[in-house]
Structure 1
């Protein structure tokens, strides 16, 4: 890894055994995925119950790989022993390994990507009275879309610069290439 392991404990004392399990699993990730940039692990007891029983144990793992979104896995459960703690840590690391496997297969072209899967774009023009607009996407260029193509009936929320996820239609519309669906991303994410 390019960055050292970041391991922290919140509201719980980190035992040497727990630290050893985490380091062993991170070393395994590093061997299996040489492009791994870094890994951050947070183990916490989110709250204590009023009955005085053992608190639940929560774990959050973030793995950073080049050119992809952060891989994140979280889990929580009430634990009774040190073995239970190891089980939740291992189970959460197994999820991270599966996500890294998927990312690696996609990067090596072992997974088919579909053209209809879509891409992000930015609204360039909107004609609310006529019920259509245009969106610009990096790979597809300028695309026409109608009010009906906007998911969840959110056409009236569109303004120039709104960032959207779009799916390219298989055929052309009355104004040329078109988007078959437009989905707003996030809450009010716009480019300037």
Structure 2
């Protein structure tokens, strides 16, 4: 499991069985989207009265680049037959999976409909690690483009260094052009001029 995960328990004891189930469900989400930025799971017991429905509540917050956040809150209402914690967890993750699949399909559809020239090549020229952003220098017209760490696929922001080669998609932001999707195309941490031809085809105008 690659995605940074936070699992929190409120008013109930953590067990190995429940923790394993949650991690198994997160791993299955990665089968549908392997570039999620984070997944936060909160499991809590809200009451001890079976007549009020299941006492358990499960919340999921998932972030997906470039800036999407998916939220699920599963808490059976009063009058609904008592549901075990495992059932509530499964239902919450089923709902998250449906949202994630829909989002990924929209992104793929957008990619298919995007002109090929929008998929451009650049190198990282500036990094502000603590602030969580940086700048790319485009190869085509030699200009700088802003990007945020949430736009970097596979949670690879911390693996970037100045000189790393990337492909990116650009759109107009509030403060000008910005890269909304950034993907490393040579070895993270290896400067572009040292990347081999098998890792990245050197584009026209590339200066070593």
Query: Normalized against structure 2, the TM-score is what?
Result: 0.46
Comparing both chains, which one has the higher relative contact order based on Cα–Cα distances under 8 Å and sequence gaps of 6 or more?
2
Query: Normalized against structure 1, the TM-score is what?
Result: 0.49
Greater radius of gyration (CA): 1
